[in-house]
Amino acid sequence: MEPKDFYHYLYRKLNKRTPLKNDCGTLCGNACCVDSGEEPLGMYLFPFEEEALQGTKNLTIEDSDFLINEKPVKIAFCHPYCNRRERPLSCRIFPLFPYVDRLGKMQVIIDPRSRDCCPLHRLERNELSSQFVRGVRHIAKLLMMNESTREFLYETSRLIDEELELYCQFLKS
């Protein structure tokens, strides 16, 4: 399957699934999407995902500083909001992430990188909409079946490890 078709399939799977049954954006003023005009927050794109997002309005795609196999991972910035139906995969699964440990075992977790902006990070995973969690688990399994997306999950999980390490140091200080 071409990357574009693969991602469009995954997007469709999550189209109607959101972290809570009601709009969680009302809790935080859509904090994960707000373009504050200060340091821009971007969302990493999955491998070749930019092909599925070509022509998306209000989205700028650039090379990030995050390297996998010495190649920069693409990152998307939104100004001020994307078209919801065209949002990248990282946004559709947020604040969950398929975390892959160093032995290669995958588990869908609440992404600790959401700590700074998302009030849902304090919840347990079973407090999120079960439909949403099931949908993310389903696409996580598909992402694990593809070599490049599995590698992306693995390498991004190392960023999560770093984030957790920093947080532990902060708690000890």
Binding-site ranges for ligand SF4 (CB under 6 A) = 19, 24-25, 27-28, 30-33, 43, 76, 78, 81-82, 87-88, 91, 94-95, 117-120
Nearest to 111 by CA among 140, 147, 70: 140
Judge if the upstream peptide bond of residue 80 is cis by omega within 30 degrees of 0. Answer: yes
Residue 3 or 25: which CB sits closer to ligand SF4? 25
As measured in angstroms, the least distance from the Cβ of 75 to ligand SF4 is 11
As measured in angstroms, the least distance from the Cβ of 25 to ligand SF4 is 4
Tell me which residue has tokens 């998307």: 76
Residue 96 or 140: which CB sits closer to ligand SF4? 96
Cβ–Cβ under 8 Å, residues 121 and 95: yes
As measured in angstroms, the least distance from the Cβ of 52 to ligand SF4 is 13
Residue 74 or 87: which CB sits closer to ligand SF4? 87
Cβ–Cβ under 8 Å, residues 110 and 96: yes
Cβ–Cβ under 8 Å, residues 121 and 112: yes
As measured in angstroms, the least distance from the Cβ of 86 to ligand SF4 is 8
Residue 93 or 143: which CB sits closer to ligand SF4? 93
Enumerate residues 6+ apart whose C-beta is below 8 A from 94.
19, 32, 43, 111, 114, 118
Backbone angles phi, psi at 93, to 5 degrees: -95, -10
As measured in angstroms, the least distance from the Cβ of 119 to ligand SF4 is 5
Residue 32 or 159: which CB sits closer to ligand SF4? 32
β pairing state of 106-110 and 96-100: antiparallel
